[in-house]
Amino acid sequence: MSVVVTRYRGGGPQYMNASSTSPKPVVGEPSIRTHALHALAYCERLFYLEEVEELRVADAAVFAGRRLHVQLQEEGEHVELELASEALGLHGRVDAVKTREGTLVVYEHKRGRHAPGGDAPEAWPSDRLQAGAYALLVEERFPGAPVECRVRYHQTDTTVRFPLDAALRGAVVAAVARARLLRASRERPPVTQEERKCAKCSLAPVCLPEEERQVVGEERPRLFPEDDVRQVLHVATPGTRVGRAAEELVVTPPEGEGAPSRQPGRMVSALIAHGAVQVSAQALAYCVENDIGVHWFTSGGRYLGGLGGGAGNVHRRLRQFEALRQASVCLGLARRLVAAKLEGQLRFLLRASRGDSESRQVLASAVRDLRALLPKCEEAPSLEVLLGLEGAGAARYFGALPYLQGEDVDTRLRFEGRNRRPPRDRFNAVLGFLFGLVHREVEAAIRAVGLDVAFGFYHQPRGTAGPLGLDVMELFRVPLADMPLVASVNRRAWDADADFEVTSEHVWLSKAGRAKAIELYERRKRETWKNNVLGYSLSYARLVELEVRLLEKEWTGKPGLFATFRLR
Ligand code: SF4
């Protein structure tokens, strides 16, 4: 291992160059996490998202950093020391402090590479700031002893040494002051100008920097992941129990229905209980702790609600409430939403390639009428007018939908009009079930983003369904429910007897039918598709979350991207 001595070099944000010989006491306010100064020096928006909005995403680099610290502890290299100072306004856990010839040496371990220097390797400005903050805490705890900083970069096996000099002291004091200012602000800072930083930032999928920059018309790389590698665990057999064993969820079917199965918790994004399924308190606690959403459906497919995934603090909701209390904001968003829904229906009808001339005439006429409604959405003076336009569009769309079905489709699976609560035919039984799954997907995404499902911009509160969930769901009814269902009926994927339970009052999906609908939906969600506005491919599952994040950008960043995607 080489050891390199360097002097402090500025180069980060403005406060990195501030000069002061001693920290100014700041009393009374909650202190700043020392680690947060690292984020602050990297990007002020990152600091704000983590410290103010309480968003944290553990990506591969974060896990690797945690593993390094565990390894160092096991090797006896890493002795954490908790320190706090009201005068400095800081608290934190220093990696290690050692005595070297009468000097207290503060060690900070980093997994990556050192910064390139002129004559010798350098520490990155954010690492210097963090180590300097720890050094000030150590100096206060052990007064009188000289203190030095060392940052060890494990990838390059180098250690960079630098003194706790006046410039570094001043930089820490200025950074704490800046952090406090940002913490008190309701405004999220803009994305960093240094774009290369975003490619390495764990919060890029939440921050969406390239989407924000793209609004000004430049081509950008995509940082939003194409798909979520974790699976949704559906439990649809009545009487099944879900428990926990160490880091796994254990699904035990009722007696005589097979052996228990185990799912590693890290591979599960959500647990969905359909009907009479028991989830143990231990499994629930594990899910909440590990950011695994838990959702309940009735056996008939109605979404009852869910737990978990509530990222972010009150600031995000306050901004949502402030924005959506303005009638003009709601109307603008609702116009775009209804136009997107009508255009989705129109594009689906345009795909029809089957049928006789009568079918084609009906479809062409419906397409014409839907197209005529689009400009009216842009000019709609009120939500009531939009509701009327949406209703007119639905009548034309559902009137034409039977003409998308093949002539050889079992008559019992033909669509002859929308009905629900309860569904009275097989097509509507599946459609209602799929809508329930879409609703769950959207509500989970809204919670994950940290918004309140109860505060929407178009739908009015009704039942247990949150208006914002119902709003956003309008974008996904066609691609996630109508399209896969019509396609599956046309390829005769359904058994009109075995997949349904039919009474004179209603038609429900049978156990086999539910399993088929779940598989159809999950497969559809994983299909990737190129976003026409952002120019990159992503799965429908990710698209739902992306749309919710773009909705939030309508009031926290650059507006104009929500509800602009279109089906091919
Ligand atoms: S993605 Fe870029 S702009 Fe957003 S927080 Fe990270 S570094 Fe900052």
Taking the C-alpha atoms of residue 443 and residue 304, their distance in angstroms, rounded to an integer, is 11
The amino acid occupying position 197 is: K
Mean pLDDT, residues 476-480:
94
Q: Which residue has the higher pLDDT, 106 or 62?
A: 106
* Spacing, Cα 205 to ligand 1 middle (Å): 9
Q: What pLDDT, on the 0 to 100 scale, is given for residue 6?
A: 31
Strand order through the sheet with 241-245? 261-264, 248-252, 241-245, 278-279
Element (H, E) at 469: helix 467-473
Q: Which residue has the higher pLDDT, 57 or 52?
A: 52
* Spacing, Cα 91 to ligand 1 middle (Å): 24
Query: Which is the closest atom of ligand 1 to the Cα of 204?
Result: 1
Q: Which residue has the higher pLDDT, 564 or 56?
A: 564
Residue 459, ligand 1, Cβ within 6 A: no
Q: What pLDDT, on the 0 to 100 scale, is given for residue 494?
A: 93
User: Strand pairing partners for 295?
Assistant: 272, 306
Q: Which residue has the least CA distance to atom 2 on ligand 1?
A: 198
Query: What residues are designated binding site for [4Fe-4S] cluster?
Result: 43, 198, 201, 207
Residue 64 above 60 pLDDT? Answer: no
Which CATH class, in words, describes the domain spanning 2-207? alpha beta
Q: What pLDDT, on the 0 to 100 scale, is given for residue 353?
A: 59
Residue 2 above 70 pLDDT? Answer: no
The amino acid occupying position 560 is: G
Residue 265 above 70 pLDDT? Answer: yes
Mean pLDDT of the chain: 82
Q: What pLDDT, on the 0 to 100 scale, is given for residue 126?
A: 92
Residue 391, burial from CB neighbour count under 10 angstroms (0-12, 13-18, 19+): exposed
Residue 39, ligand 1, Cβ within 6 A: no
Q: What pLDDT, on the 0 to 100 scale, is given for residue 25?
A: 44
Query: Which is the closest atom of ligand 1 to the Cα of 202?
Result: 6
Q: Which of 288-292, 315-319, 534-538, 546-550 has the lowest mean pLDDT?
A: 534-538
Mutate to test the pocket of ligand 1, among 50, 192, 220, 558 (most ligand atoms within 8 A of CB): 192
Q: Which of 326-340, 341-355, 422-436 has the lowest mean pLDDT?
A: 341-355
Residue 204, ligand 1, Cβ within 6 A: yes
List of residues 6+ apart from 15 with CB closer than 8 A? 171, 174, 175, 177, 178
Give the model's confidence band at 10: pLDDT under 50 very low, under 70 low, under 90 confident, else very high. very low
C-alpha pair distances (Å), 331 with each of 433, 457, 478: 30, 7, 22
* 3 φψ region: left (φ > 0), alpha (ψ -120 to 50), beta (else): beta
Q: What is the ipTM of this complex?
A: 0.99
Taking the C-alpha atoms of residue 46 and residue 53, their distance in angstroms, rounded to an integer, is 10
Residue 382 above 70 pLDDT? Answer: yes
Measure CA of the first residue to CA of the last residue in the chain; give whole Å.
56
Give the model's confidence band at 384: pLDDT under 50 very low, under 70 low, under 90 confident, else very high. very high
Query: What residues are designated binding site?
Result: 43, 95, 108, 198, 201, 207, 390, 459, 474
Domains 2-207 and 231-307 share a fold: no
Q: What pLDDT, on the 0 to 100 scale, is given for residue 15?
A: 42
Structure confidence by residue, pLDDT tens digits, 121-170? 899 999 999 999 999 999 988 888 889 999 999 888 899 999 999 999 99
Give the model's confidence band at 232: pLDDT under 50 very low, under 70 low, under 90 confident, else very high. confident
Q: Which of 63-77, 129-143, 421-435 has the lowest mean pLDDT?
A: 63-77
* Spacing, Cα 208 to ligand 1 middle (Å): 8
Mutate to test the pocket of ligand 1, among 203, 206, 213, 214 (most ligand atoms within 8 A of CB): 203
Residue 182, ligand 1, Cβ within 6 A: no
Q: Which of 104-113, 216-225, 543-552 has the lowest mean pLDDT?
A: 216-225
Query: Biggest alpha carbon distance in the chain?
Result: 94
* Spacing, Cα 199 to ligand 1 middle (Å): 8
**Buried/exposed 195-229: b ≥16 CB within 10 Å, e otherwise:** eebbeebbbbbbbbbbbbbbeeeeebebbbeeeee
**Domain 231-307 is classified in which CATH homologous superfamily?**
CRISPR-associated endonuclease Cas1, N-terminal domain (3.100.10.20)
Residue 192, ligand 1, Cβ within 6 A: yes
Residue 213, ligand 1, Cβ within 6 A: no
Q: Are 47 and 182 in contact (CB under 8 A)?
A: yes
List of residues 6+ apart from 223 with CB closer than 8 A? 198, 199, 201, 204, 205, 208, 209, 210
**All structural domains of the chain with their residue ranges:** 2-207, 231-307
Residue 78 above 70 pLDDT? Answer: no
Q: What pLDDT, on the 0 to 100 scale, is given for residue 9?
A: 32
Using alpha carbons, select from 175, 173, 172 the residue that is nearest to residue 131: 172
Q: Which residue has the least CA distance to atom 4 on ligand 1?
A: 207
Structure confidence by residue, pLDDT tens digits, 337-353? 999 999 999 999 988 75
Q: Which residue has the least CA distance to atom 5 on ligand 1?
A: 46
Q: Which residue has the higher pLDDT, 309 or 52?
A: 52
Mutate to test the pocket of ligand 1, among 191, 210, 213 (most ligand atoms within 8 A of CB): 191
Strand order through the sheet with 81-85? 32-33, 90-94, 81-85
Q: What pLDDT, on the 0 to 100 scale, is given for residue 216?
A: 46
Q: Which residue has the least CA distance to atom 7 on ligand 1?
A: 198
Q: Which of 25-34, 510-519, 548-557 has the lowest mean pLDDT?
A: 25-34
Read off the tokens for 52.
Answer: 């103010």
